[in-house]
Amino acid sequence: MSSTALAPPKPLIPLPGGTTMRGVLWQAGLAIVVVLVGWSLYNNMLANMAARGLQFGFGFLNRSAGIPIGEHLIPYTPADTYQRALTVGLLNTLRVALLGVVLATILGILLGLARLSANPLLRGLTGGYIEVIRNTPLVLQLVFWHAIVLQLPSVRQALNPLPGLYLSQRGLKTPALMADTALFWAAVAVVVALLAWWLLLRRERARQEATGDRRPTWAPGLALLFGLPILAGYVIGAPTVEWPVLAGFNFRGGLTLSPEFFALLLGLVIYTSAFIAEIVRAGIQSVQRGQWEAARALGLAPGRIMRLVILPQALRVIIPPLTSQYLNLTKNSSLAVVIGYPDLVSVANTSINQTGQAVEVIAIFMAVYLIISLVTSLLMNTYNRAVALKER
């Protein structure tokens, strides 16, 4: 090593864009390899499919699928096409993913705050819970929850933890809001109340700018939020709630969450919330102690310290990993196939078994997941660029 002399600089042919001849050669080589490999794979595929009496193409999507799907958000019968069946599967995926993201965020934030509590009992309990959940595979947890749900009492002895909530082998039953005019006006009342609260908040902020004095808005705001819908209920009539009633061997009315959906949602929410809790905790801890002390020295109330000083800084640390947790939850929902919830992958799997068009179906569902992920990734990278520390 000590005898290394400085080598004379190698003559490089400068090319536009600051790159060199060698770089161009590298890239050309890569392009040729990619094209050749792709071409030979494509040829192999055509030959293999021909040997099995199949033809490459998406024409099968218009054939009748004959796949029975228990849960569908849009009207569906087994006589419908593969295209329709896959759409039903996609909607089922999106349903569990969206609901899961919302619930996991709420539970995750609560757990994260509990993890930071001054109370050692609460801190320890939450810590133990988070470690157990994070260090066991999700597949195992899903199968476990599914087994638990299937071991619940039968419909006639359904657990009834809250009025209108029934837990049984057939899943979870909840009261349903009927879509009628009363519900419409109640929703309008809520929107109007929120708008009014926002206007009030703006006025108070302007007042604070002008006079330095500020009155809290939460009392009139809450009064509006609850008062207006109740008023609307009195004038137009309260929205109808359909309660589940036990009739014979099953429930009638109400909203049903199937055992599979319920187990999948439960598993995804519990698993993801443990990760979100750690992200929230790390984010809040990343804000230096001096920030708390400075805010306190300014005489801010604890709630406002959190909202105005700590959270904006913590969010910078929290948002990027949080987004990837959302993505993980969406991708993990494909484990539905293990417990038999008809999500996109599960329907696609059945379609492959029936048609043999493996390449096309897998290409479709990979493309769908890619689109979901890339859109989120794009947003995340844009945000990342905005908040990243800049060096020179």
Partner 1 sequence: MSASTAPALPTFTERARDFAKACFTGPLNIAISLACIALLAWVVPPMLRWAVLDATWSGTAAECRAAGGACWAFVREKFWFSIFGLYPFEERWRPATMMVILVTLVVASTLRIFWTRWLLLAWAVAAVVMWVLMQGGVLGLSFVETRQWGGLAITGIIAVYGLALGYPLAIVLALGRRSELPLVRWFCTAIIECVRGVPLISLLFMAAIMLPLFMPQGVTLDRLVRVLFAYTLFTAAYMAEVVRGGLQAMPRGQYEAADALGLSYWKKMRLIILPQALTITIPAQVNTFIGLFKDTTLVVVIGVFDFFTTLRASLGDPNWLGFPTEAYVYAAAVYFVLCFAMSKYSQRLERDFTPAGR
19 binds partner 1 (CB under 8 A): yes
Residue 20: φ, ψ to 5°: -120, 170
Backbone phi, psi, residue 245, to 5°: -120, 140
User: DSSP letters along 162-215, please?
Assistant: STT-EEETTEEEE-EE--SHHHHHHHHHHHHHHHHHHHHHHHHHHHHHHHS---
- Closer by beta carbon to partner 1, 64 or else 119: 119
Footprint of partner 1 on residues 293-322 (CB under 8 A)?
A: none
> Helix, strand, or coil here: 247?
strand
373 touches partner 1 by CB under 8 A: yes
Residue 86 CB contacts under 8 Å (≥ 6 apart), including other chains: 61, 344, 347, 348, 351, 361, 364, 365
Measure the CA–CA gap between 48 and 183, rounded to whole angstroms: 57
Taking the least distance from each CB to partner 1, the nearer of 131 and 180 is 131
Q: Among the candidate windows 72-80, 121-129, 182-190, 306-314, which touches partner 1 by CB under 8 A?
A: 121-129
CA distance 78 to 179: 28
Question: Which residues between 137 and 166 bind partner 1 (CB under 8 A)?
Answer: 137-140, 143-144, 147
Rounded to a whole number of angstroms, the minimum distance from the CB of residue 311 to partner 1 is 21
What does the chain come to in residues?
392
Angle at 179 between CA 244 and CA 79, to 5 degrees: 80
Out of 64, 117, 157, 286, which residue is the one contacting partner 1 (CB under 8 A)?
A: 117
Interface residue with partner 1 among 34, 159, 206, 223 (CB under 8 A) is 34
Sign of CA dihedral 152, 154, 157, 159: positive
Tell me: does residue 6 bind partner 1 (CB under 8 A).
yes
Decide: is 119 part of the binding site for partner 1 (CB under 8 A): yes
Question: For residue 277, what are the contacts with CB-CB under 8 A and spacing of at least 6?
Answer: 107, 108, 109, 111, 112, 114, 115, 126, 130
- Which residue of 21, 32, 106, 132 would you call a contact of partner 1, by CB under 8 A? 132
Residues numbered 196-225 forming contacts with partner 1, rule: CB under 8 A: none
365 belongs to the binding site for partner 1 (CB under 8 A) = yes
Shortest spacing between CB 36 and partner 1, in angstroms = 14
Per-residue x/- marks for partner 1, 318-357, CB under 8 A?
-------------xx-xx-xx------x---x--x-----
Only one of the segments 59-67, 213-221, 257-265, 369-377 lies at the binding site for partner 1 (rule: CB under 8 A); that segment is: 369-377
Q: Which stretch binds partner 1 (CB under 8 A): 37-45, 57-65, 67-75, 171-179?
A: 37-45
Counting Cβ atoms within 10 Å, is residue 348 exposed (0-12), middle (13-18) or buried (19+)?
buried
Q: Does 128 bind partner 1 (CB under 8 A)?
A: no
Radius of gyration of the chain (CA): 28
| Residue 377 found at the interface with partner 1 (CB under 8 A) | yes
Residue 47 binds to partner 1 (criterion: CB under 8 A): yes
Contact criterion met (CB below 8 Å) for 166 and 243: no
Q: Residue 18 in 3-state DSSP?
A: helix
- List interacting residues with partner 1 (CB under 8 A): 6-7, 9, 18-19, 23, 26-27, 30-31, 34, 41, 44-45, 47-49, 51, 117-122, 125, 131-132, 134-140, 143-144, 147, 331-332, 334-335, 337-338, 345, 349, 352, 358-359, 362, 365-366, 369-370, 372-374, 377, 391-392
